[in-house]
Amino acid sequence: MTEPLAVGAVPETAPTDAKPAPPKPINIRYLGFKDVDGQRQYALQAQRGLETSRYTVTIELAAFSKKQALLQDGPDICYQKLRELSALELHPGGDVEVTEADLAAYRETHSRTPRRTFSSPAPEAPERTAEQDRPEA
């Protein structure tokens, strides 16, 4: 008969190549923005467990006027950039710049379908055939 293990003891047969626990999920919160010197600066706070860091993520205002990004997408672009940087570990807070390559990657993964305006004609419905109009028996 084997003796019971003490509380917190590891049995001798425990594998030594056990995988480390996955990192805790990261929580990123948008705090606001301000325009400074031709840039839109977004304030975000990232938290993993008890560790918290604050970031300022910037996008050049020219990117919005050049249609490289939409103003309403700014917070999400910054969130995605910060999430990418923090995927493995939470870095100390600081400044992060969104590059043209980041904007291009965002556009690639977040393509939009053109919206219909009130003045644009409705898409034509496909013509119905006589078979489609017959009641089912």
Q: To the nearest whole number, what is the mean pLDDT of the chain?
A: 80
Asked if residue 65 is part of any domain, the answer here is yes
| Residue 97, pLDDT score | 92
Q: How many domains does the chain have?
A: 1
pLDDT > 90? residue 24: no
| Distance of alpha carbon 78 from alpha carbon 134, whole angstroms | 54
Asked if residue 97 is part of any domain, the answer here is yes
Asked if residue 37 is part of any domain, the answer here is yes
35-70 residue pLDDT tens:
999 999 999 998 888 888 899 999 999 999 999 999
What pTM value is reported for the model?
0.64
| Residue 64, pLDDT score | 94
Find, among 53, 55, 56, 47, the residue nearest to 23 by Cα: 47
Categorize the per-residue pLDDT at 137 as very low, low, confident or very high, splitting at 50, 70 and 90.
Answer: low
Asked if residue 79 is part of any domain, the answer here is yes
Asked if residue 127 is part of any domain, the answer here is no
| Residue 5, pLDDT score | 52
For 84, the domain range is 27-109
| Distance of alpha carbon 7 from alpha carbon 98, whole angstroms | 50
Under 8 Å between Cβ of 27 and 37: no
Percentage of the chain beyond pLDDT 90 is 41
Asked if residue 5 is part of any domain, the answer here is no
Strand segments, DSSP code E, in the chain are 27-36, 39-48, 51-60, 94-97
Contacts of 53 (CB under 8 A, 6+ apart): 45, 46, 47, 90, 91, 92, 93
pLDDT > 70? residue 129: no
**7 vs 99, residue with greater confidence:** 99
Asked if residue 96 is part of any domain, the answer here is yes
48, two tokens: 């993993």
Asked if residue 16 is part of any domain, the answer here is no
